[in-house]
């Protein structure tokens, strides 16, 4: 059976995506989205070309949507919800045929289509899987097939409708573009806005900190902080809960937690709350040391305002804490090896082996991000190679890597004088915009040819932006990184990944309950 033989151009173009800009923009768009979703046979097997205005399609062998429904008979499919899916597709096809009818039409076929739609929708309203279907469901599916066949015969010419649908699709695309722009703005707003519950927690902890006597505002085991043979971790954060998850997950995954020293660096505003949290919730056998960036007298007085002057509003990029990672040798002068963890990571496996890795004289251990895609995650996407100095010194096709979990050889860093390299490129970036916002592009330049490539299983990125990551990859990763805008402590976080993060918080802690912090 061939349906809609006289209008192949429009539907073939829709199938090829020329009119389907986004799934669900129009009823017929949904048809083709579902065609792909259910792996139907392709409608058109040839090449698509508009050189002849589509006339060359008129004699091509096309397979209709209804024909595909029949070929994919529910009696031959094995998935538990195949019949449900099949009936949903029938409804979509029937609604599409209703669009071919005149608005004022009350023909027998129109009434029959509406009746069949109601029958199928009534069945679907009481069933979520095939086992829920009544015996009469097959009869209703067969009746719908017969009605769709009649509709195909009744509306063989769809040129007028195609023009109408093109106009409607264009209008819907305009609306969708506006909605996407608004959604993007709201996501940005949610990312930049500090959640009310976390603000409550910070205020309560700060109040309690200043209510204590100064001599009691001390963290335990401070004598172990400077011992270089221990496993030193650096965390730059102004988020108490995020920092707590990093600490808790690292300890939970460690074989030797008594060898761990956490160095948390925060700003002066959050220092009291961060101190109070870890005084009340000490990290077990590990040691924690908390610094305010105001303690670093070698920083310029205007250090915090420099990044805000660059015109970037997103706190992920204009926070001076993100750039303090380039000062690790100065912050920790007695430490030769340190592991940097971003505050949006969860540690799932013991990281102690990283301290015994021979980095071959390199400064930083990294996991590359371009291993899967040929063109994506290359240096040219982060840095502007129109500048002669950059074009001379760097390869635009060089593979980029991720911050988030990085082992640093601070001795090699000092020996190679990379602080001067950082200062050079930092000053260049102040004068002209040569790379994207944030510390990552600058890191690619500073540590260029000084990186040691780690196994990808050490560090998995993307849990804050990609909902299609494979569970097996997440389970085998040593560190999972919620890179992206959808952080797990925000309501916009990807729900199926949130459990990896929330399991390392005790939500029964009174402060969390009082501030309505919950999974």
Q: Which helix (H) or strand (E) holds 162?
A: helix 159-192
Q: So what's the pLDDT on residue 316?
A: 63
Q: Which of 186-195, 364-373, 479-488 has the lowest mean pLDDT?
A: 186-195
Structure tokens at 387: 């500048």
The DSSP secondary-structure symbol of 155 reads -
408 beta partners: 338, 364
* Higher per-residue confidence, 397 vs 482: 482
Q: What is the pLDDT of residues 361-387, one digit of tens each?
A: 999 999 998 865 555 678 888 888 888
> Has this prediction a pTM greater than 0.75?
no
Q: Please, which pLDDT band fits residue 413 given cuts at 50, 70 and 90?
A: very high
CA distances from 79 to 30, 41, 75, 120, 141 (A): 21, 17, 11, 19, 17
pLDDT over threshold 80, residue 468: yes
Listing DSSP states for 403-428 in one string gives SSEEEEEHHHHHHHTHHHHHHHHHHH
- Residue count of the chain, please give it: 519
Q: So what's the pLDDT on residue 226?
A: 80
pLDDT over threshold 90, residue 162: no
Which residue has tokens 């500048």?
387
Q: So what's the pLDDT on residue 40?
A: 34
Contact 326, 450 (CB under 8 A): no
3-state secondary structure of 477: coil
Q: How far apart are CA 43 and CA 337, in angstroms?
A: 60
Cβ within 8 Å of residue 217, ≥6 positions away: 209, 275, 279
Q: How far apart are CA 193 and CA 118, in angstroms?
A: 45
Looking at residues 323-342, what average pLDDT do you find?
A: 95
End-to-end CA distance of the chain: 54
Looking at residues 228-234, what average pLDDT do you find?
A: 93
pLDDT over threshold 80, residue 30: no
pLDDT over threshold 70, residue 434: yes
**Mean pLDDT value across the chain:** 80
> What does residue 408 show for φ and ψ, rounded to 5 degrees?
-115, 135
Q: Which of 155-164, 391-400, 456-465, 487-496 has the lowest mean pLDDT?
A: 155-164
Contact 289, 261 (CB under 8 A): yes
pLDDT over threshold 70, residue 257: yes
Domain ranges of the chain: 8-179, 197-514
Structure tokens at 367: 């996991």
Contact 340, 246 (CB under 8 A): no
Q: How far apart are CA 444 and CA 424, in angstroms?
A: 14
How far is residue 296 CA from its own chain's centroid?
34
**In degrees, to the nearest 5, what angle opens at C-alpha 320 toward C-alphas 182 and 359?**
110
CATH architecture of 197-514: Alpha-Beta Complex (3.90)
Q: Which of 173-182, 289-298, 414-423 has the lowest mean pLDDT?
A: 173-182
Instruction: Return the C-alpha torsion angle 390, 395, 396, 402, nearest 10.
Output: -100
> What does residue 341 show for φ and ψ, rounded to 5 degrees?
-120, 125
Contact 43, 62 (CB under 8 A): yes
Contact 2, 11 (CB under 8 A): no
Q: How far apart are CA 508 and CA 365, in angstroms?
A: 37
């Amino acid at each position: 059976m061939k349906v809609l033989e006289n209008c192949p151009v429009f539907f073939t173009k829709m199938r090829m995506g020329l009119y389907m800009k986004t799934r669900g923009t129009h009823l017929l768009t949904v048809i083709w989205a579902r065609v792909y979703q259910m792996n139907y046979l392709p409608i058109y097997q040839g090449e698509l070309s508009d050189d002849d205005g589509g006339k060359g399609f008129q004699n091509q062998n096309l397979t209709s949507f209804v024909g595909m429904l029949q070929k994919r008979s529910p009696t031959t499919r094995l998935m538990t919800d195949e019949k449900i899916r099949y009936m949903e597709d029938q409804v979509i096809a029937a609604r599409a045929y209703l669009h071919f009818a005149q608005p004022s039409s009350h023909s027998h076929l129109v009434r029959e289509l509406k009746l069949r739609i109601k029958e199928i929708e009534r069945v679907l309203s009481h069933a979520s899987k095939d086992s829920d279907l009544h015996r009469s469901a097959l009869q209703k599916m067969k009746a719908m097939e017969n009605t769709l066949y009649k509709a195909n015969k009744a509306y063989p010419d769809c040129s007028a409708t195609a023009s109408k649908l093109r106009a409607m699709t264009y209008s819907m695309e305009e609306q969708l573009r506006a909605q996407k722009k608004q959604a993007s703005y709201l996501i940005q707003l949610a990312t930049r806005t500090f959640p009310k519950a976390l603000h409550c927690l910070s205020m309560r902890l700060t109040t309690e900190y200043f209510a204590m006597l100064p001599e009691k505002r001390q963290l335990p085991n401070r004598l172990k902080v400077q011992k270089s043979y221990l496993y030193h971790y650096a965390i730059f954060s102004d988020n108490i809960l995020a920092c707590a998850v990093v600490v808790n997950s690292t300890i939970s995954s460690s074989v030797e937690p008594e060898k761990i020293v956490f160095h948390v660096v925060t700003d002066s505003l959050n220092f009291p709350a961060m101190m109070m949290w870890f005084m009340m919730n000490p990290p077990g056998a590990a040691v924690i040391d908390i610094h305010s960036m105001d303690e670093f007298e070698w920083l310029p007085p205007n250090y915090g305002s420099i990044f805000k002057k660059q015109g970037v509003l997103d706190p992920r990029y204009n926070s001076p804490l993100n750039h303090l990672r380039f000062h690790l040798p100065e912050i920790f002068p007695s430490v030769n090896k340190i592991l940097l963890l971003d505050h949006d990571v969860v540690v799932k496996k013991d990281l102690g082996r990283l301290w015994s890795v021979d980095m071959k004289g390199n400064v930083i251990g990294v996991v590359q991000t371009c291993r899967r895609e040929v063109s994506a995650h290359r240096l040219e996407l982060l840095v502007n190679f129109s500048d002669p100095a950059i074009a001379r010194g760097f390869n635009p096709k060089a593979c980029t890597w991720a911050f988030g979990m990085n082992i640093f050889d601070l001795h090699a860093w000092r020996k190679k004088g990379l602080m001067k390299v950082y200062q050079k490129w930092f000053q260049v970036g102040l004068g002209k915009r040569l790379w994207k916002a944030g510390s990552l592009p600058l890191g690619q330049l500073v540590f260029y040819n000084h990186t040691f490539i780690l196994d990808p299983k050490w560090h998995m990125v993307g849990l804050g932006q990609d909902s299609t990551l494979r569970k097996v990859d997440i389970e085998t990763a040593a560190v999972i990184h919620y890179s992206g805008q959808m952080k797990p402590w925000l309501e916009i976080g990807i729900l199926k990944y949130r459990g990896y993060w929330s399991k390392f918080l005790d939500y029964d802690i009174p402060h969390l309950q009082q501030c309505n912090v919950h999974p």
